[in-house]
Structure 1
């Protein structure tokens, strides 16, 4: 009985050691993709041509992230400005010098559940990874 218990504990630890780095790597890659997309959206949205980040841009962003395995329905975008003005209206682009803020959130999706094998409680379902940034608008009316 004691040998069976030792075997089970060893097997669980061995599985965690084998697969945990893979899941951590997936998490790091997802974080990097989210940050890259946030930076791209801010670069385009704050350019002299736009001055906003609207729903169409967000839809295109979701499509790009979906090609990398993200579920578009679970992506959450928050767009704001440093003055409190709405940064998502194409009819009222933010003038030069006003900051456009963007945050993209995505849940962990039970990615870290393997940590239970060694007694580490994974993050709750409501928690997730996020990427954020701010860029000054270059739009001149």
Structure 2
């Protein structure tokens, strides 16, 4: 390895990116056992937390392009995990509601994501895991 490459691979930005890619892979593989992708999980969680919610607002809450939200919701509705119905406040919009089946899947996905994160953090002691989470939270919330 060259000195230039070593410098790049020791940068926090490079290391965080590599760890994030591994973390996404672990969680994605876990969620796949329920037939979901990462964004399906996020949209399902937002539907549970904020629903019933207009599709456009749901997309804003999870920072997903409206066109992509439609496809994700199509998948979730086809699986019986959410329902779309006319929004009672504005009949021109659809409101999204999680179904009981969706709530069950969301509960299982939460456990799967926790297990994947436990696998990711396994090389660290419990104290180190807490420190890492606290530091990442500070970086995430920084202006």
Name the TM-score, length of structure 2 as normaliser.
0.31
Higher relative contact order (CA 8 A, sep 6+): 1
**Rg larger for:** 1
Name the TM-score, length of structure 1 as normaliser.
0.31
Q: Which has the higher helix share?
A: 2
Q: Which has the higher strand share?
A: 1
